[in-house]
């Protein structure tokens, strides 16, 4: 379980970008974070992975407060957290298989990582994940030849190579056409349902959030202004969130 308590972040002293945000996310669920541009969605996601410093509050994954860990222990704990991004963060010149294998670099020694030495088991696992993402025909294709939706599925497979407990997805469908967006969200739903992952996803599309999420958190000016199930999010509240 993910438990966030009183999480706050200021990039500049006079303006909070997150203010005392609480949230809980269970295993096997999708939490969608919505809100207008500048509301603090990316700041929240990056704080969950402790990529931002100088924040306040608690971020507990299975009762371990990530904010209290030493640098070394945080590095280890981060292996439990996969991330996917709006711009995919792939190496375009490398093949799908090579990009997916990069997902296990965090667990390797610096030397093995430098020489990109992967075991037969790791290659087999990467190929299985590529197959699960419907990309077997592209395993040896350079990522630069893929569509946005295909690239995002490579990003998901790469994150799964870490065997994460939680996936943080920062606007993963913002650059995709509606069909690819549905496909990516369906995959995230499957990861929650079948693999029991905690999925936290920043979204601009309220309709997609209500279709796929178990739980919606809305932010505005860094404050939580809604926290509940999709059925409780009424039109008037949506208007207020985006006002």
HEC-encoded secondary structure of 71-88: HHHHHHHHCCEEEEECCC
**DSSP run (H or E) holding 3:** strand 2-12
Write the interaction track for ligand ATP spanning residues 146-185; mark x where CB under 6 A is met and - where it is not.
Answer: ----------------------------------------
Nearer to ligand ATP by C-beta: 6 or 91?
6
Q: Cα dist. 78→50, 94, 114, 159, 163 in Å?
A: 9, 24, 20, 11, 11
Q: Per rule CB under 6 A, is residue 35 in the interface with ligand ATP?
A: yes
**DSSP run (H or E) holding 164:** none
User: Residue 220 gets which letter from DSSP?
Assistant: E
Among 21, 23, 34, 43, contact with ligand ATP (rule: CB under 6 A): 43
Write the interaction track for ligand ATP spanning residues 111-150; mark x where CB under 6 A is met and - where it is not.
Answer: ----------------------------------------
Nearest C-alpha neighbor of 97 from the set 149, 160, 158, 167: 158
Q: How many residues bind ligand ATP (CB under 6 A)?
A: 10
Q: Per rule CB under 6 A, is residue 17 in the interface with ligand ATP?
A: yes
Q: Per rule CB under 6 A, is residue 58 in the interface with ligand ATP?
A: no
Least distance between ligand ATP and beta carbon 154 (Å): 22
Do 80 and 164 form a contact (C-beta atoms < 8 A)?
Answer: yes
Nearer to ligand ATP by C-beta: 39 or 192?
39
Distance, in Å, from the CA atom of 121 to the CA atom of 117, rounded to the nearest integer, reads: 12
Residues that bind ligand ATP (CB under 6 A): 11, 17, 35, 37-43
């Amino acid at each position: 379980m993910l438990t966030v308590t009183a999480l706050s972040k200021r990039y500049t002293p006079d303006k909070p970008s997150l203010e005392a945000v609480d949230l809980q996310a269970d295993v096997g669920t999708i939490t969608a974070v919505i809100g207008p541009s500048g509301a603090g969605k990316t700041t929240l996601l990056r704080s969950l992975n402790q990529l931002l410093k100088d924040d306040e509050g608690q971020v507990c994954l299975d009762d371990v407060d990530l904010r209290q860990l030493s640098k070394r222990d945080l590095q280890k704990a981060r292996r439990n957290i996969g991330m996917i991004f709006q711009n995919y963060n792939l190496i375009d010149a490398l093949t799908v298989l090579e990009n997916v294998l990069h997902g296990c670099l965090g667990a390797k020694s610096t030397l093995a990582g430098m020489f990109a030495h992967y075991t037969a088991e790791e290659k087999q696992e990467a190929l299985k994940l590529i197959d699960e993402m419907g990309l077997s025909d592209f395993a040896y294709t350079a990522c630069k030849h893929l569509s946005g939706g295909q690239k995002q599925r490579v990003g998901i497979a790469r994150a799964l190579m870490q065997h994460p407990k939680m996936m943080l997805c920062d606007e993963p469908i913002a650059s995709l056409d509606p069909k690819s967006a549905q496909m990516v969200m369906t995959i995230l739903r499957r990861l929650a349902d079948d693999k029991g992952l905690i999925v936290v996803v920043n979204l601009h599309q309220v309709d997609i959030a209500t279709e796929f999420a178990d739980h919606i958190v809305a932010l505005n000016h860094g404050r939580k202004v809604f926290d509940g199930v999709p059925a409780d999010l009424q039109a008037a509240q949506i208007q207020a969130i985006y006002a």
